[in-house]
Amino acid sequence: MSIKLEKAVQKFYDGLEEGKLYGRKCTKCNAVEFPPVYACNTCGCWDMEWVEVSGRAVMKSIVMPAALSSKPEYSALGPYAYGEVELEEGSTFNAVVKGMTKKKRRELLDKLPLPVHAEIFQRDGYKTVVFALDEEA
């Protein structure tokens, strides 16, 4: 089980190196899970296959990180917050959204949901996925 999980994570990170975002699609109910998980959150089925996802999404909430929990590995990213993000493929999860200050959050709160897109961010040693507002692309 743990070996299997490492393989899944590897596929995901290999995808990021190629500039691709991989999610897992349930072969039973077609729900797409991103970031990849083993069992479908919708129907519990374990029969999932890899699919490339677009990275297009909407941000439904914005939460500023607490000062103490702010992560040094994201310092190169500039100001960021956490947002509830729903991919156009249907998966909803919490993501890092860059370019977000307290002031900006106040301006944007009434306008939610807002279109965002995934960007691949180089952290020390590996890449990860963050989201950015479409208007700043």
| CB 27, min distance to Zn ion, A | 8
| CB 33, min distance to Zn ion, A | 9
Six-digit token string for 117 = 């897109």
User: Cβ neighbours of residue 105 under 8 Å, at least 6 residues apart?
Assistant: 62, 64, 81
Among 5, 9, 43, 112, binds Zn ion (CB under 5 A): 43
User: Is position 29 an interface residue for Zn ion (rule: CB under 5 A)?
Assistant: yes
User: Is position 42 an interface residue for Zn ion (rule: CB under 5 A)?
Assistant: yes
CA torsion, points 98, 93, 114, 110, in degrees to nearest 10? -100
Among 31, 57, 87, 95, binds Zn ion (CB under 5 A): 31
Span near Zn ion by CB under 5 A; candidates 11-19, 23-31, 53-61, 117-125: 23-31
- CA-to-CA dists, residue 90 to 20, 39, 43, 111, angstroms: 18, 16, 14, 21
Span near Zn ion by CB under 5 A; candidates 24-32, 78-86, 90-98, 119-127: 24-32
Question: Looking at residue 65, what DSSP letter applies?
Answer: P
Distance separating alpha carbons of residues 18 and 105, to the nearest angstrom: 32
Q: Which residues bind Zn ion (CB under 5 A)?
A: 26, 28-29, 31, 40, 42-43, 45
